[in-house]
């Protein structure tokens, strides 16, 4: 309203063009308009970071412990900037999950008492990066950090970005050839153009341990969304 005098003008006339420019200069040609805007920190509402597990955040006037919440909790960027997060002593593993359905299913059916699970939510914004960096800095010593995403171009691209920007030692979870073969009946094929995108991942040094899976994807011409693993 302040900028254009019309609350819908950005959505109608500016957003598509701006997203095209962002995709070009951020090298994210296949992402949606909303993803492109999020990468530049342009979001509709303040983001909430979802997680479940033994985490607490201390503010100048008190501490909030989320360990007792069976379905997890949320924080905002203002919370992270004003407080200091810490993990419970019993946390033995951190798991980041890309898809919301998989995150909810895992928290309700599979999470153990010594796990901290967070909702990743696709390509993350600058604000979400601050949260992920805070998690990486607070992670207990010798506690592994895993990421579970789609077995496709976008999923591996996110893993590479996490390793580059958050923590080099983040490990892929259920993102390998065995899972691709196990759920082969739910896998989808792809075009020649998509195969070229996959091939470009073989030049990403952060993904060297994932090259065998990517090569198998190229050979079988299949990719798998992690929702399939809920079947």
144 domain residue, yes or no: no
Using alpha carbons, select from 79, 142, 105, 123 the residue that is nearest to residue 230: 105
Domain assignment of residue 27, yes or no: yes
Q: Please indicate, yes or no, if residue 33 is contained in any of the structural domains.
A: yes
Q: Which of 17, 10, 8, 49 is nearest to 36 (CA)?
A: 17
Q: Distance between CA atoms of 24 and 36, rounded to whole angstroms? A: 10
Single out the residue of 148, 163, 155 nearest to residue 214, CA to CA: 155
Strand positions, DSSP E, 90-185: 93-97, 115-119, 145-148, 171-172
167 vs 141, more confident? 167
Is 138 among the domain residues?
A: no
The Cα–Cα gap between 158 and 153 comes to 9
Residue 64 lies in a domain: no
Token pair in block for residue 43:
């979001």
Is 195 among the domain residues? no
Domain that holds residue 25: 1-37
- pLDDT score at 127: 87
CA distance 118 to 53: 9
Measured CA to CA, the distance from residue 89 to residue 101 in angstroms comes to 28
Model pTM score = 0.84
Domain count, the chain: 1
pLDDT at 38: 79
In a domain, 21, yes or no: yes
pLDDT (tens digit per residue) in 164-204: 999 999 999 999 999 999 999 999 999 999 999 999 999 99
Q: Render pLDDT for 117-139 as a digit per residue (tens, 0 to 9).
A: 999 988 788 889 999 999 999 99
The pLDDT score that the predictor gives to residue 40 is: 81
Residue 100 lies in a domain: no
pLDDT the model gives residue 28: 66
């Amino acid at each position: 309203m302040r900028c254009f005098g019309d609350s819908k003008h950005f959505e109608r006339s500016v957003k598509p063009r701006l997203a095209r420019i962002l995709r070009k200069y951020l090298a994210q040609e296949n992402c949606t308009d909303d993803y492109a805007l999020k990468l530049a920190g342009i979001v509709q509402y303040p983001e909430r970071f979802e997680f479940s597990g033994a985490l607490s955040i201390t503010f100048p006037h008190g501490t909030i412990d989320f360990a007792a919440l069976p379905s997890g909790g949320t924080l905002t960027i203002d919370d992270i900037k004003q407080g200091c997060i810490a993990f419970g002593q019993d946390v033995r593993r951190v798991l980041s999950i890309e898809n919301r359905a998989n995150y909810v299913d895992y928290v309700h059916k599979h999470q153990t008492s010594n796990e901290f699970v967070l909702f990743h939510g696709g390509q993350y914004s600058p604000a979400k990066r601050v949260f992920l960096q805070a998690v990486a800095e607070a992670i207990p010593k010798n506690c592994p950090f895993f990421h579970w995403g789609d077995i496709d171009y976008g999923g591996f691209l996110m893993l590479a970005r996490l390793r580059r920007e958050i923590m080099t030692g983040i490990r892929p979870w259920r993102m390998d050839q065995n899972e691709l073969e196990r759920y082969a009946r739910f896998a989808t094929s792809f075009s020649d153009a998509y195969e070229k995108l996959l091939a470009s991942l073989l030049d990403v040094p952060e993904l060297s341990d994932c090259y065998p899976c990517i090569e198998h994807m190229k050979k079988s011409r299949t990719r798998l969304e992690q929702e399939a693993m809920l079947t």
